Structure 1
Amino acid sequence: MSTWSKTWYENRKKQNKYKACKVIVDGITFDSGREAKRYNELKLLEKAGEIENLSRQVEYVLIPSQKGETRNERKCSYFADFVYTDKKTGKVVVEDTKGMKTKDYIIKRKLMLYVHGIEIQEI
Structure 2
Amino acid sequence: MGQITVYSGPERRRRWSEDERRLILTEAFSPGACVAEVARRHDVSTALVYTWRRKLLEAAAEPNVSVGHDPGFAEARIGGDGEGMSADRAPAMIIDLARGKRVSIFASASPALVGAALKALR
Report the TM-score, using the length of structure 2 for normalisation.
0.24
Which has the greater radius of gyration? 2
Q: Determine which structure has the larger helix proportion and give its number.
A: 2
Q: Determine which structure has the larger strand proportion and give its number.
A: 1
